[in-house]
């Protein structure tokens, strides 16, 4: 009886409060605002459309400013300047392939870094005297000569940024329609600011600019165009037939020419808005059918009437179901929380509601399940840790026997005056001692580099010092910790698979090992070689466990390291691959910054669910 009384009281109070605070004021407000709502709604909609158009203008201004900033950065970059000058000299001396190689090596890191977070750019090129010396994303051969291309010719030696919209299959190399942006880079650093050292060309898929305009449109049948100071269309979302072009131009001519403000007029059943940009000297014209403005006010009046009727019906129904949907689920949740407090973590609440209380119950069930999985995982990890410690103590005996045997062979080689074999055995003994005797799963980066240097000494002796190795190790990474034995398999792959052909034929073979920090919380290790590279078809599946199109030795090393990092630290850490078949391959190891040997990342619930 007491529960029924509580239900009745809540239902009655809710109904009365809702009636006086919502329905009755809504009736009075609807009656009072009937004669004013049409004008106010229309004005609000006009203001909204104006705001949307200003948003479109702002987006275009940001795009224009962003590309202007890119060219300014390149214009003031000493690295870019030196790379372009070096490439230009190679071309003047007839060293076309050297120019191509220099352009790819020297320009690629800087331009990729510049465009790293920009998904609007479809392609970009650096052009010197009509020849492409570097291509971003899409590969363009340096043998392509664009000296007679109208875009290159018309923008050569001009200081302004030029936009060419709706270019179909530009340069004969890109399928589809593109907006092409060109800007000359002048010799500012070389104290000759009137001389252009190169042309920088950016290609944007025309659909991306159209989508940018459509994102801010209130109505799908609205027409929007962007026109430059010469009357050329930069972008637009419509395909106006030729018979309607005169009508469109006639509407534009009826708009004020004052560029200091946004203009709004009704012309030929259209709400026409025009705005000028001080940033790019473009102006935007938007045509929205006037029927949307008048329709909006009428729909609000009808909506208000139906809303009142609907609220009355819903109120009666809601008062009867409020106790079932709120009170009883809360009582079940409180009971379950009490059981969990008594260490009963196997409990689960049956969920019937789909409202916020249902979400709370679902979250509670997930929390209890994850706690149970965490206990199970903790027990499993502790068991594996004990087994690992026992195995480590067990196998420590074998390396000592191996060291003593290698030393005996070394003394024998020295007695026979075989210095090369003795040197190899000393290096091998030190390498095995540093790797097999290391008890921790992490090692200081400086020690890992020393181990790889010992390994490379052995490889250089094997290949008669044909292997060229360079180290670009950031000083701020020397004392960081990395997983033990993470670098050797990658370097081995570069030598055995990437450079084997060059090493056997006597061609120049090089490996570059780099280490640096990104954003102060990501440690990146790079192993670059100028070997045969990896084919695109293999690149797509090389890190998959079920791949059958790549050699076992190449795949096993990469997959094991990638899986090892993911299991220990989760995403986004692991291995990233870059390669061009026949030119190079670059394996990047992405790690968290570990400053102490005890550093560990917390195990997330996602990892727990993967283990469970």
Over residues 116-175, the pLDDT tens digits come to 888 888 888 888 888 888 888 766 665 677 888 888 888 887 888 888 888 888 888 788
pLDDT at 6: 44
Q: Which helix (H) or strand (E) holds 229?
A: none
pLDDT at 328: 67
What is the DSSP secondary structure assignment for residue 106, as one 8-state letter? I
Q: Which residues contact 61 (CB under 8 A, 6 or more apart)?
A: 277, 279, 280
The pLDDT-based confidence of 529 (bands split at 50, 70, 90) is very high
Comparing C-alpha atoms, which of 283, 280, 276 is closest to residue 236?
283
Instruction: Identify the residue with better confidence: 258 or 473.
Output: 473
Q: What is the pLDDT of residues 426-467, one digit of tens each?
A: 666 666 666 665 667 788 898 889 888 888 887 887 788 888
Q: Domains in the chain, ordered, with CATH?
A: 34-289 (3.30.450.20), 438-611 (3.30.565.10)
Give 560-589 as a DSSP string: HHHHHHHHHH-TT-EEEEEEETTTEEEEEE
Number of residues that this document lists for the chain: 612
Q: What is the pLDDT of residues 367-377, one digit of tens each?
A: 878 877 887 78
pLDDT at 13: 57
Q: Dihedrals φ, ψ of 29, to 5°?
A: -65, -40
Q: What is the pLDDT of residues 349-365, one digit of tens each?
A: 776 666 666 777 777 78
The pLDDT-based confidence of 548 (bands split at 50, 70, 90) is very low
Question: What's the Cα-to-Cα distance from 98 to each of 403, 438, 507, 603, rounded to whole Å?
Answer: 48, 45, 16, 49
pLDDT at 63: 87
Q: In angstroms, how far is CA 434 from the centroid of its own chain?
A: 38
Residue 226 near residue 236, CB atoms below 8 Å: yes
> In 60-191, where do the E strands start and end?
121-128, 131-136, 162-168, 177-187
Distance CA 190, CA 174 (A): 34
The structure tokens 């070389």 sit at 190
pTM: 0.42
pLDDT at 299: 64
Percent share of the chain, pLDDT over 90: 8
Residue 529 near residue 566, CB atoms below 8 Å: no
pLDDT at 514: 95
pLDDT at 164: 86
pLDDT, the chain, mean = 76
Q: In what order do the strands lie in the sheet with 162-168?
A: 131-136, 121-128, 192-205, 177-187, 162-168
Q: What is the pLDDT of residues 21-59, one digit of tens each?
A: 666 776 666 666 655 666 676 677 778 878 888 888 888
pLDDT at 422: 65
Distance CA 555, CA 560 (A): 8
What is the DSSP secondary structure assignment for residue 548, as one 8-state letter? -
Residue 197 near residue 187, CB atoms below 8 Å: yes
pLDDT at 395: 46
Check whether 584 has a pLDDT greater than 80.
Answer: yes
Find the range with the poorest average confidence among 553-562, 579-588, 600-609. 600-609
Helix axes 397-415, 419-436, angle to 10 degrees: 170
Q: What is the pLDDT of residues 204-228, one digit of tens each?
A: 888 888 888 888 787 777 888 888 7
Q: What is the pLDDT of residues 318-354, one digit of tens each?
A: 666 665 666 667 767 777 777 777 666 677 777 666 6
Check whether 525 has a pLDDT greater than 90.
Answer: yes
Q: What is the pLDDT of residues 123-134, one digit of tens each?
A: 888 888 888 888
Percent share of the chain, pLDDT over 70: 69
Check whether 567 has a pLDDT greater than 50.
Answer: yes
Distance CA 171, CA 152 (A): 10
């Amino acid at each position: 009886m007491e529960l029924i009384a509580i239900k009745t009281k809540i239902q009655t109070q809710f109904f009365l409060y809702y009636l006086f605070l919502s329905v009755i004021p809504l009736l009075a407000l609807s009656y009072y605002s009937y004669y004013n709502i049409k004008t106010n709604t229309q004005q609000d909609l006009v203001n909204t459309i104006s705001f949307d158009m200003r948003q479109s203008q702002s987006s275009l201004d940001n795009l224009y400013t962003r590309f202007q900033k890119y060219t300014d950065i390149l214009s003031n970059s000493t690295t870019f300047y030196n790379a372009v000058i070096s490439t230009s000299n190679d071309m003047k001396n007839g060293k076309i392939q050297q120019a191509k190689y220099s352009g790819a090596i020297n320009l690629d890191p800087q331009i990729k870094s510049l465009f790293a977070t920009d998904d609007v750019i479809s392609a970009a090129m650096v052009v010197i005297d009509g020849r492409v010396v570097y291509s971003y994303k899409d590969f363009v051969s340096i043998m392509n000569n664009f000296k007679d291309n109208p875009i290159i010719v018309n923008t050569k030696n001009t200081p302004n940024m030029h936009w060419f919209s709706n270019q179909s299959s530009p340069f004969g190399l890109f399928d589809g329609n593109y907006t092409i942006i060109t800007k000359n880079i002048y010799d500012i650093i070389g104290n000759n600011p009137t001389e252009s050292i190169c042309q920088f060309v950016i290609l944007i898929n025309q659909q991306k600019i159209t989508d940018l305009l459509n994102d801010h449109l209130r109505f799908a049948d609205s027409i929007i165009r962007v026109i430059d100071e010469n009357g050329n269309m930069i972008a637009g979302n419509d395909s106006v037939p030729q018979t309607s072009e005169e009508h469109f131009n006639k509407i534009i001519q009826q708009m004020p020419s004052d560029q200091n403000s946004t203009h709004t007029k009704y012309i030929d059943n259209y709400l026409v808005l025009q705005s000028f940009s001080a940033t790019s000297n473009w102006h935007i014209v938007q045509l929205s059918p006037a029927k949307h403005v008048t329709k909006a006010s009428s729909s609000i009046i009808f909506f208000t009437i139906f809303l009142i009727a609907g609220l009355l019906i819903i109120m009666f129904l809601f008062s009867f179901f409020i106790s079932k949907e709120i009170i009883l689920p809360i009582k079940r949740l409180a009971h379950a929380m009490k059981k969990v407090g008594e260490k009963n973590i196997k409990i689960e609440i049956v969920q019937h509601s789909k409202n916020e209380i249902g979400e709370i119950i679902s979250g509670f069930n997930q929390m209890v399940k994850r706690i149970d999985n965490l206990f199970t995982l903790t027990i499993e990890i502790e068991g594996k840790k004990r087994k690992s410690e026992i195995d480590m103590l067990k196998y420590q005996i074998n390396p000592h026997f191996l060291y003593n045997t290698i030393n005996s062979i070394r003394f024998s080689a020295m007695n026979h005056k075989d210095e090369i074999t003795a040197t190899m055995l000393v290096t091998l003994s030190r390498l095995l001692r540093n790797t097999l005797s290391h008890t921790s799963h992490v090692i200081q980066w400086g020690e890992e580099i020393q181990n790889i240097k010992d390994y490379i000494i052995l490889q250089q002796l094997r290949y008669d010092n044909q292997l060229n190795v360079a180290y670009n190790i950031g000083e701020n990474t020397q004392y960081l910790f990395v997983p033990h034995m993470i670098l050797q398999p990658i370097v081995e792959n570069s030598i055995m698979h990437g450079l084997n052909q060059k090493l056997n034929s006597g061609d120049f073979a090089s490996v570059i090992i780099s280490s640096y920090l990104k954003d102060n919380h990501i440690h990146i290790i790079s192993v670059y070689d100028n070997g045969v590279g990896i084919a695109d078809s293999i690149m797509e599946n090389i890190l998959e466990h079920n791949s059958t199109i790549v050699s076992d030795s190449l795949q096993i090393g990469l997959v094991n390291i990638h899986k090892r990092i993911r299991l220990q630290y989760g995403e986004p850490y692991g291995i990233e691959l870059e390669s061009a078949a026949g030119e190079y391959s670059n394996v990047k190891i992405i790690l968290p910054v570990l400053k102490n040997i005890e550093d560990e990342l917390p195990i997330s619930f996602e990892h727990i669910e993967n283990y469970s």
